[in-house]
Structure 1
Amino acid sequence: MKIFLTGGTGFVGSHFLREVQKSGHEVVAQCRPGSRPRLQPSQNPLWIERPLDHNFEVELAGCETLVHLASHTPNPPYAPLDECLYWNVYATTRLLQQAARQGVQNVLVAGTCFEYGAAAEGIDFVHPGTEMRPSLSYPISKAAATTVCLGIARSLGLRLKILRIFQVFGEGEAASRFWPSLRKAALAGDNFSMSAGTQIRDFIPVEEVARQFVDALSFTHVEPGKPQVRNIGTGVPQTLIEFAQYWWRAWGATGELQPGQLGLRPGELQRLVADIHSVHIT
């Protein structure tokens, strides 16, 4: 299969690129000028160094599947809403329309669990058909992008899957995020300040996310114009402090975990765990 990939130098994208190359697929990969992979692929794809809002119709010609992993400021502090909307909605819209004009029928898009926003409050396991009610710039733009992708797929008869990723962690993750920050402190022998850690999350290793995206390249059971949305997680609830304690021991940390030293982020949910068994068809 010939695949057009966006976000191939990013956290999830770098792992996906490694995993998809094991299956022998041919990959044409867009990346921002000057961007380099978080992890070096086993072999370099055909890199297209061009901003996401440019034209890719020449490179899309002959591709069977578009895998869209690129996203703008997925980690706090998020960019302003207008900037997020431009890159996550407008640029995505252009890309899907270009792909459709070049005969690409299969589209796989990375979503985020934060699209659910306040609608996930009080739900034990969040169904992929749950209403989207985000309140911050990046999640708002991703929810808007989902709506646009679903509409384009229905109107143009594309086979579309949107996979909403839950609490992914692992090698190549942005240094400011929880797992890399925890590891840095553990390996340095430092203490680590954190919130009370009572938040319940669905932590999934990035390698497993990459495998599930590769598995999703089969569109056998997806009908044209009837997009599917599903969650990518483990379905296993775990508190933040349990997660931290596990890795603290695994790394042989000599410092101390210091829960309760930090507060929660604005709008942070107490529980966010995936229903991984359901598929929402729109």
Structure 2
Amino acid sequence: MDDPDYGGRRVLLTGATGFLGTHLARRLLAAGAEVHAMRRHASKHTRLPAEGLHWHTADLTDYRSLERAVLASRPEIVFNLAAYGTTFDQRDRDLALAVNVGGSLNLWRALEATRCRLVHTGSCGEYGQIRGQVTEDVACQPTWFYPATKNASVVLLSTLGRQTGREVVTLRPFGPYGAADDPGRVLPHVIISLLNGDDVKVTAGEQLRDYSHVDDHVRAFLLAGVVPLRQTGAIYNIGSGEIVTLRKLIETVANAVASDAVKRVEFGAVDYRDGEIWEMCCDISAARRDLGYEPWVSLEDGIRRTVEWFATAGERAATAVTGS
């Protein structure tokens, strides 16, 4: 399916060097947008091409740097994908609060002189211990600090949008995965270990999850940037709309690596964590209705593409993400 036309639209993207941000930046360029991308350090490594992007050195915790980036880019649409706390090594609570909550407010202040649309990124973890496929109207009860700060940012920006009339829309991604994902996450860790011939120790895998390919998530962001909104402050779950056990997911990965790779996966060798989230699955009917969102990449095809990328990543380190 073709992406929406962004021909000539000026876009500002925070979190451009992250997993989702990298994929979104490439697709925005392909859709014809004038892409202004933020990074905290000019020397920061990125998988994005050197040509086509307008880079701005800015940090969500530094209001003046955001103000300069906004003045220079004059955005019509802003995608806020920057966050702290998305990986297990990001445990500084003060920094999570400063980036996810304070940074969102800084960005809002920097945008006050513009009339651009703001597409914000929430977290599926905002819902906490849920049962079944959760809808957006379920009360959020996050169980750890990162999604708590993300929920605070969603409430803050949605409220400000309703108060001022600025178009604000939030997407809550469920289980994005794909090429160039962080090696510390579950799927890349399992893929890399099996490709290296190592044994993999995991839990029994009874957790229920919604995993969806990064290409589908990116399309949701592209749609959220341009479709007419039913109301400002709207929130949408983005995922596959299908439930899979973590065990089934890992078995699918193993089968994509090699026919006998599943023999090297030790299910039940790792205990469940305290406060384990047993179900993290979403209802995507609102995104289908309002955004025209539809997931297109099947789990099997998405896993196959991801395994193929990691299997050849060493040869493609210079160019990395291909926008599969």
Q: Return the TM-score normalized by structure 2.
A: 0.80
How much does 1:236 deviate? 0.3
Does the 8 Å contact 1:60/1:104 carry over to 2?
no
Deviates most, 205-214 or 159-168: 205-214
Residue 187 of structure 1: aligned partner:
195
The alignment's C-alpha RMSD in Å is 1.9
Cα shift readout 1:220-277 (whole Å, capped 9, x = no counterpart): 1344xx3110001001000011111111111115451110001222322211111100
Paired letter, 1:96: W
Secondary structure class of the residue paired with 1:5: strand
Paired letter, 1:35: K
- Determine the C-alpha separation between the residues in 2 that align with 1:155 and 1:241: 45
Residue 175 of structure 1: aligned partner:
183
Residue 45 of structure 2: aligned partner:
36
How much does 1:92 deviate? 1.1
Indicate which of 118, 134, 140 corresponds to 2:142.
134
Count, aligned residues? 274
Does the 8 Å contact 2:40/2:59 carry over to 1?
yes
Secondary structure class of the residue paired with 1:278: helix
Structure 2 stretches lacking a partner, 5+ long? 1-8, 291-324
Indicate which of 84, 98, 103 corresponds to 2:110.
98
How much does 1:44 deviate? 4.0
Residue 256 of structure 2: aligned partner:
250
- Determine the C-alpha separation between the residues in 1 that align with 2:274 and 2:171: 25
Secondary structure class of the residue paired with 1:216: helix
- Determine the C-alpha separation between the residues in 2 that align with 1:193 and 1:257: 6
Indicate which of 60, 67, 70 corresponds to 1:60.
70
Residue 160 of structure 1: aligned partner:
168
Secondary structure class of the residue paired with 1:197: coil
Residue 4 of structure 2: aligned partner:
none
Structure 1 stretches lacking a partner, 5+ long? none
State percent identity of aligned pairs. 26
1:6 equivalent to 2:14? Answer yes
Residue 216 of structure 2: aligned partner:
208
How much does 1:78 deviate? 4.0
Secondary structure class of the residue paired with 2:83: coil
Kindly report structure 1 stretches of 4+ aligned residues shifted beyond 3 Å: 41-44
- Determine the C-alpha separation between the residues in 2 that align with 1:181 and 1:81: 25
- Determine the C-alpha separation between the residues in 2 that align with 1:5 and 1:131: 29
- Determine the C-alpha separation between the residues in 2 that align with 1:171 and 1:263: 28
How much does 1:77 deviate? 4.0
Residue 85 of structure 1: aligned partner:
97
- Determine the C-alpha separation between the residues in 2 that align with 1:94 and 1:12: 22
How much does 1:217 deviate? 1.3
Does the 8 Å contact 1:117/1:134 carry over to 2?
yes
Paired letter, 1:40: L
Deviates most, 154-163 or 74-83: 74-83
Does the 8 Å contact 2:75/2:116 carry over to 1?
no
Cα shift readout 1:89-136 (whole Å, capped 9, x = no counterpart): 0011010121122x1330101111001113x2xx21100121111121
- C-alpha distance 77-268 of structure 1, shift in aligned 2 (>3 A): farther
- C-alpha distance 147-221 of structure 1, shift in aligned 2 (>3 A): closer
Does the 8 Å contact 1:160/1:222 carry over to 2?
no
